[in-house]
Structure 1
Amino acid sequence: MPVEFSIVNGSAILTINNPPLNLINAEVRAGIERGISRAHDSGASRLIITGAGTTFVAGADANEFGKPPHDPQLNDVLLKLAQLSIPTIAAINGVALGGGLEIALACRFRIAAPAARLGLPEVILGMVPGAGGTQRLPRLIGIESALDMIVSGQAVSATRAINLGMIQQLAEDPLEAALALDAADLAKARAPDHLPAPLPDDAALAAAHTRAKRRMAGQDAPQIAADLIKASASMQFAEALQNERSAFLTLRKSDQARSLRHVFFSERAAANKARIFPCSSKKIETAVVVGGGNMGAAIAYTLASAGISVTVVERDTASAEWASNNLHELVNQGVKRGVLQDEAAQAIVSRLATAVGYANLPQATLAIEAAFENFDVKCAILNELEAVLPHDAVLATNTSYLDVNRLAEGLKNPDRFVGLHFFSPAHIMKLLEIVRGNQTSDNTLGIAFDLASRLNKVPVLSGVCDGFIGNRILSSYRQAAIRLLVEGASVEQIDTAMRDFGMAMGPFSAQDMSGLDIAYANIQRRSANKGLDEDHVPLVEQMVEEHNRLGRKSGAGWYDYDAEGRSSASSTVAAEISQISEDLTIPLQTFRSEEIVDRLVLTMLTEACDILEEGIAEQPRDIDLVMIHGYGFPRWRGGLMHYAQNVGEARVRALYDACAEKTTFSWKTPRNLDLVFASA
């Protein structure tokens, strides 16, 4: 039974036992409802609700969200719990999230284990709490604190919860403490339903709306959640509960909720991918990173944060000192931001070392080269590493574009070579493209996926091609944006259109951040190797070669930047665009924001179709994860492929036709578009 009922010394105990996470489904809801009735009918002195194992309740079963509601509903069950004539206690033995916390909030008394975490994360899935969370929580902790928790979807520790007033007691064994709770103390406790309404807090509400617009731009649920919390101060409790439930049911059916659920399940599938590949029982405890620049230092810091001892290799003493400074600066930044406490920071520093050359490296089980994108340099590094490290050490490249199979050609054991493409900044970005070469062994892939789990990264398996999954799509996206410039759109218009669509940054602002010199070097490499696309527009080359506009680092890129880093439109860039349009005899047009978005999204979709057909990505959801976690595609749209599926095949084909009519450049509907919709 997913809900077990027992009587101990006159106390009724409901134990939710639905492993592994005690998720709430129809059976659990029915079991709680039956348990409430049995506790009342048995004449028990109190009713205690707890969870089996180390989890209280981790939330609702998301598999039910796409299906019609099935009675009994949790909000109805919890009303019965809150109105029960006998005292009720939540013995929170572990994580209490979503509906799990709502169960606890409906009780009169709450006792939590010190390691428990409590939260209402529904907004992360495009919904709001639907069983009283937006109304009961403010009555316990006030409007401001409730807004902080619910609108962000972030959980709090048990210590924080007791300081807020969400729980009344901490205990190593909450069930034992609940059984021993003094009857007189319990008699004084009241369920939040019977507590006074919280005081209004217009300032906190305005701040919450502002934060949500900035941090969760485009998403409906955070704003609706804030308004529901506001209503807890003025609306009758029963009416407010009905409004909350109505909002929950409406949002649960929305495109945003469906998209966010898609991402949730895609991330879960990515994490489970490791089970496919065997993994050595020998864990990575020691690693080597070659290159202590921004990327190499961030990779080393990430490894050290996960408990791995790391040696960063540089070519000379001065470079090693520079790398050491980079590493310590990352630690200091973590302390300043409050991400690291002093003890944790010291532990990370203790795991970081630098070395000059390869002569005295530790016997590491992993080595990652993070040198600049030069084929010969990377090959030389890999050969040096293979010569000095144990025969079973995994060798990895962090290349963003280069051919992993060619890099493996000079190795004696290419089966232990893999691409580990971290995204910048590596200690913050969640994506890790795991690039499988032709000779990469399954065991090596198993180690790579296990490493991704330890680093708390979202792993996506990629085949070998220029740019792998993400950068290959990015290159097409940027070139399409440049083609729009010479057809009549402006830098600012394109960036604004894509930000309004939900991208974290527009293509030109993002390229100014990363540096046009990087894009320029990549163009030169592609030109030398395979030649450039016939529709290539040489604007980046003009910007770098003629004006040394490298982006923010040089104070000028697609935009001009003042001393404080504020951007403004550039007359130099506008003149270059105009000149190239004239040179290519391209007639200028006007574009609406929707046309810009359609052109750029469809360009990315075309590239994604080819990536799927070639087997570079295994499934559409892999591309969605890459675009969300690596390139700022709006999570609430579900990623590139899911967004197209939501738009629908007929509409997508019509949009391809519309773009073909307007563009001066070559354009066609991809022949393999059905791959996008096959899994819809």
Structure 2
Amino acid sequence: MASGETLDAVRESAQTINDVTTYACVGTVALITLDSPPVNALGSAVRQGLMAAFARAAADPEAHAVVLACAGRTFIAGADIREFDAPDPDAPDLLEVLAQIDACPKPTVAAIHGTALGGGLETALCCHTRVATPSAKVGLPEVALGLLPGAGGTQRLPRIVGAQTALEMMVFGKPVIASRAHEIGLIDAIIEGDLLEGAIAFAENAAQSGPPPVPVRERSEGLSLPHDAELFARFRADNARAFKGYQAPENIVRAVEAAVTLPFEAGMRREAELFQELFTSRQSAALRYLFFAERQTARVPDLPADTPRRPIAQVGVIGAGTMGRGIAMNFLSAGIPVTLVEQDEAALERGVAAIRRTYEISLKKGKLTQAKLDACMERLQSTLNMADLGEADLVIEAVFEKLALKQEIFARLDGIARPGAILATNTSFLDINAIAAATSRPGDVIGLHFFSPANVMRLLEVVRASATSPDVVATAMGLARTIAKIPVLSGVCDGFIANRMMTPRMDAAQALILEGPLPWEVDQAIVDYGFAMGPFAMLDLVGLDVIGWDPATSTSSTVTQVLCETGRWGQKRQAGFYDYDEMRRPTPSPVTEALVREFQSRAETPPRPFSDEELIERLLLPVVNEGARVLEEGIALRASDIDVALVMGYGWPPATGGPVFWADTLGLGNVIAGLEAIGETPAPLLRRLAEADATLHTWPEAA
């Protein structure tokens, strides 16, 4: 077996195949190493290198076995998605490369560390065996892009692990850890020590004493496991809710059905048909667009890459309510100590207890260890004294949405926080410039708008006020990644990006129920479009009494006001727009229906039925229109940021790409006509882009 010193010498003397691939012999084992930072993606250079290196290994008389390994922090982490729509015509496609690996007559071993995902795992499946470090993860997550594994994954994986496990891995797309992969036969050995040494020893043993290598495509142990029609029918039925609105899961099921019923080559042809059907679909185009859009949000054009960032080692959170404690958990979970401040002892104790309870729920679900829970709680300090925030690097205010209250808190913080500390507000709508003006250091003030529940929702709107310093913006954008959030930069306006854009949907919903539809009919149209719930179910969930209703000024002039006046505040009262049983399951309410019909009878025009298409246009086209205004005003940096914000913050169906991408699939001319038909004035940006035959989702490039 090669020693570490020997391997170092081999690396230094390795032959260069191309810029990202080297070839060396370690005794009788050919070592092929890929080094294409950051994640060894299967771009054109990697594919060319693999093709040439395996051809050399097959022909090398000194090589009796082959090890495929990767330098850097990971094995092949997937395909280069940028090439999906613009493949390199001079490079072999992935299927050609994998056919070359698959046909190698010598034992081949994939040495996996980090992650082997998508095309990376499909590459490893073309090797005869796979070994991995204990920390490695493997998976086929193409479903997240609206695709299926299109390089043999749907055909090879079931031949090892069986149809049921293959379906679970591909339909849900979650990577599995090395130990689990070893249990199901996907990984042949876990290497505890040096991965390369272990892989080379494994390959030597296979060459010397093992039987002739059998390609995965010829293996059948997985096919001996249950795979009858009942299995597939049950899988579809059990996951019907998760499948709803998505094409890729069903195509994956069909591909696995082909794997267990057809010869390998016929199954590969079926996989190719099903992959192409998805690849050319609008849904996959939307999901691939979101994949890149999500990675674009952290790029701020007017912030140089070398903009300094302030160190954040201690965080203060003011307010131990639902938002405050959720915000605190983000930092605790990321290893950053938090001081939680409240003005009332009982409220503080409730907040701390709720944080512990939430962690304990994760513990029971196996998402958290006891040691991690204990460590998170040890990082939490609670106090009734705001002066205890004097050493914090970042203080986040999360109190009631009252401007005067927030200004008072920031004025106090101005005299408490150390110089250079970042002062952030979690306001959802209020003017951050007015909040910053309450301090003598407006450059240190920024908005960090978390979405509820703050410890779960991935969106973080970073709101740059007029005086916010560049290094504060850079720090906030980077910190979002530290706490596993997707940052979207916004300017100051009422509601920022997400809340501002979704306000017209709620306004439209309230107007619609005066014209004929009932609340549950409006909700159903939205759910059929792809949202998890409609606007009225959402109001019931949040609580009708906490969205601006004031009993002192209520005038019975709207349906919502009357519901509030009669104590129908939503789920917490088992009555709102809907009636709820003890499990909070909703049913249409005859009380609400009678109330809505009464308001409809007072309207100037008689109520009429609306088609689902009409409802969607009334509800969602105004959202698109508001998005165009947000872009024109410079509130959002780019149109794709808007889509990310609405998908991550409001659950806009990812399969549509978000409101802006969806508008382009309708055609901007149709959007404009639809807006005019419902009495809305189209934003000037929409007209300019439509006249130029340009798209909105690529703005500002399309402008």
TM-score (norm 1): 0.93
Amino acid at match of 2:196: L
Q: Is the partner of 1:371 in helix, strand or coil?
A: coil
User: What is the CA–CA distance in structure 1 between the aligned matches of 2:138 and 2:209, rounded to whole Å?
Assistant: 23
Amino acid at match of 1:630: G
User: What is the CA–CA distance in structure 2 between the aligned matches of 1:134 and 1:185, rounded to whole Å?
Assistant: 31
In structure 2, the partner of 1:32 is 50
Q: Is the partner of 1:55 in helix, strand or coil?
A: coil
- For residues 607-636 of structure 1, give each alpha carbon's deviation from its aligned partner in whole angstroms, at most 9, with x where no partner exists: 111111111112111110111000011111
In structure 2, the partner of 1:381 is 409
User: What is the CA–CA distance in structure 1 between the aligned matches of 2:238 and 2:413, rounded to whole Å?
Assistant: 47
Match of 1:80 among 80, 95, 100: 100
Closer/same/farther in 2, CA of residues 256 and 467 from structure 1, 3 Å limit: same
In structure 2, the partner of 1:670 is 683
In the TM superposition, 1:124-139 aligns within 5 A as: 124-139=144-159
Closer/same/farther in 2, CA of residues 159 and 590 from structure 1, 3 Å limit: same
User: What is the CA–CA distance in structure 2 between the aligned matches of 1:198 and 1:626, rounded to whole Å?
Assistant: 46
Amino acid at match of 1:478: M
Closer/same/farther in 2, CA of residues 146 and 320 from structure 1, 3 Å limit: same
The answer to which of 9-18 and 310-319 deviates more is 9-18
Report how many aligned residue pairs link the two structures: 664
In structure 1, the partner of 2:162 is 142
Q: Is the partner of 1:432 in helix, strand or coil?
A: strand
Q: Is the partner of 1:167 in helix, strand or coil?
A: coil
- For residues 226-263 of structure 1, give each alpha carbon's deviation from its aligned partner in whole angstroms, at most 9, with x where no partner exists: 22112222211110011112222232222111111110
Report the Cα offset of residue 464 of structure 1. Answer: 0.9
User: What is the CA–CA distance in structure 1 between the aligned matches of 2:348 and 2:635, rounded to whole Å?
Assistant: 37
User: What is the CA–CA distance in structure 1 between the aligned matches of 2:219 and 2:552, rounded to whole Å?
Assistant: 69
In structure 1, the partner of 2:8 is none
Q: Is the partner of 1:354 in helix, strand or coil?
A: strand
In structure 2, the partner of 1:533 is none
The answer to which of 206-215 and 325-334 deviates more is 206-215
Closer/same/farther in 2, CA of residues 395 and 211 from structure 1, 3 Å limit: farther
In structure 2, the partner of 1:488 is 516
Closer/same/farther in 2, CA of residues 347 and 216 from structure 1, 3 Å limit: farther
In structure 1, the partner of 2:587 is 568
Match of 2:629 among 586, 610, 618: 610
User: What is the CA–CA distance in structure 2 between the aligned matches of 1:92 and 1:524, rounded to whole Å?
Assistant: 66
Identity of aligned residues (%): 37
User: What is the CA–CA distance in structure 2 between the aligned matches of 1:169 and 1:522, rounded to whole Å?
Assistant: 65
What are structure 2's unaligned runs of at least 5 residues? 1-17
> Contact 1:324/1:353 (CA < 8 Å) preserved in 2?
no
Amino acid at match of 1:246: E
User: What is the CA–CA distance in structure 1 between the aligned matches of 2:420 and 2:550, rounded to whole Å?
Assistant: 33
In structure 2, the partner of 1:251 is 278
User: What is the CA–CA distance in structure 2 between the aligned matches of 1:206 and 1:54, rounded to whole Å?
Assistant: 40
Amino acid at match of 1:154: K
> Contact 1:288/1:313 (CA < 8 Å) preserved in 2?
yes
Closer/same/farther in 2, CA of residues 671 and 279 from structure 1, 3 Å limit: closer
> Contact 1:56/1:96 (CA < 8 Å) preserved in 2?
yes
1:370 equivalent in alignment to 2:398: yes
Closer/same/farther in 2, CA of residues 655 and 523 from structure 1, 3 Å limit: farther
In structure 2, the partner of 1:505 is 533
> Contact 2:408/2:438 (CA < 8 Å) preserved in 1?
no
In structure 1, the partner of 2:12 is none
User: What is the CA–CA distance in structure 2 between the aligned matches of 1:188 and 1:515, rounded to whole Å?
Assistant: 67
In structure 2, the partner of 1:214 is 241
1:265 equivalent in alignment to 2:278: no
1:306 equivalent in alignment to 2:334: yes
Report the Cα offset of residue 549 of structure 1. Answer: 2.0
User: What is the CA–CA distance in structure 2 between the aligned matches of 1:81 and 1:561, rounded to whole Å?
Assistant: 59
User: What is the CA–CA distance in structure 2 between the aligned matches of 1:9 and 1:128, rounded to whole Å?
Assistant: 39
In structure 2, the partner of 1:22 is 40
User: What is the CA–CA distance in structure 1 between the aligned matches of 2:680 and 2:531, rounded to whole Å?
Assistant: 24
1:101 equivalent in alignment to 2:125: no
Report the Cα offset of residue 349 of structure 1. Answer: 0.8
> Contact 1:379/1:410 (CA < 8 Å) preserved in 2?
yes
What are structure 1's unaligned runs of at least 5 residues? 528-535, 661-665
Closer/same/farther in 2, CA of residues 174 and 560 from structure 1, 3 Å limit: same
1:179 equivalent in alignment to 2:200: yes
In the TM superposition, 1:517-596 aligns within 5 A as: 517-521=545-549, 538-544=558-564, 546-596=565-615
> Contact 2:464/2:490 (CA < 8 Å) preserved in 1?
yes
In the TM superposition, 1:280-299 aligns within 5 A as: 280=308, 282-299=310-327
Closer/same/farther in 2, CA of residues 345 and 210 from structure 1, 3 Å limit: farther
Amino acid at match of 1:304: L
Closer/same/farther in 2, CA of residues 591 and 642 from structure 1, 3 Å limit: same
User: What is the CA–CA distance in structure 2 between the aligned matches of 1:74 and 1:437, rounded to whole Å?
Assistant: 48
Match of 1:347 among 336, 359, 375: 375
The answer to which of 645-654 and 328-337 deviates more is 645-654
In structure 2, the partner of 1:55 is 74
Report the Cα offset of residue 212 of structure 1. Answer: 4.7
> Contact 1:485/1:491 (CA < 8 Å) preserved in 2?
yes
1:235 equivalent in alignment to 2:262: yes
Match of 2:670 among 651, 661, 664: 651
User: What is the CA–CA distance in structure 2 between the aligned matches of 1:394 and 1:644, rounded to whole Å?
Assistant: 38
In structure 2, the partner of 1:151 is 171
- For residues 380-404 of structure 1, give each alpha carbon's deviation from its aligned partner in whole angstroms, at most 9, with x where no partner exists: 2222222222121111111111111
> Contact 2:321/2:347 (CA < 8 Å) preserved in 1?
no
Report the Cα offset of residue 672 of structure 1. Answer: 2.6
> Contact 1:118/1:158 (CA < 8 Å) preserved in 2?
yes
The answer to which of 292-301 and 578-587 deviates more is 578-587
User: What is the CA–CA distance in structure 2 between the aligned matches of 1:596 and 1:537, rounded to whole Å?
Assistant: 23
Amino acid at match of 1:513: L
> Contact 1:434/1:462 (CA < 8 Å) preserved in 2?
yes
Alignment RMSD = 2.3
In the TM superposition, 1:474-485 aligns within 5 A as: 474-485=502-513
User: What is the CA–CA distance in structure 1 between the aligned matches of 2:378 and 2:87, rounded to whole Å?
Assistant: 54
In the TM superposition, 1:370-519 aligns within 5 A as: 370-519=398-547
Amino acid at match of 1:190: V
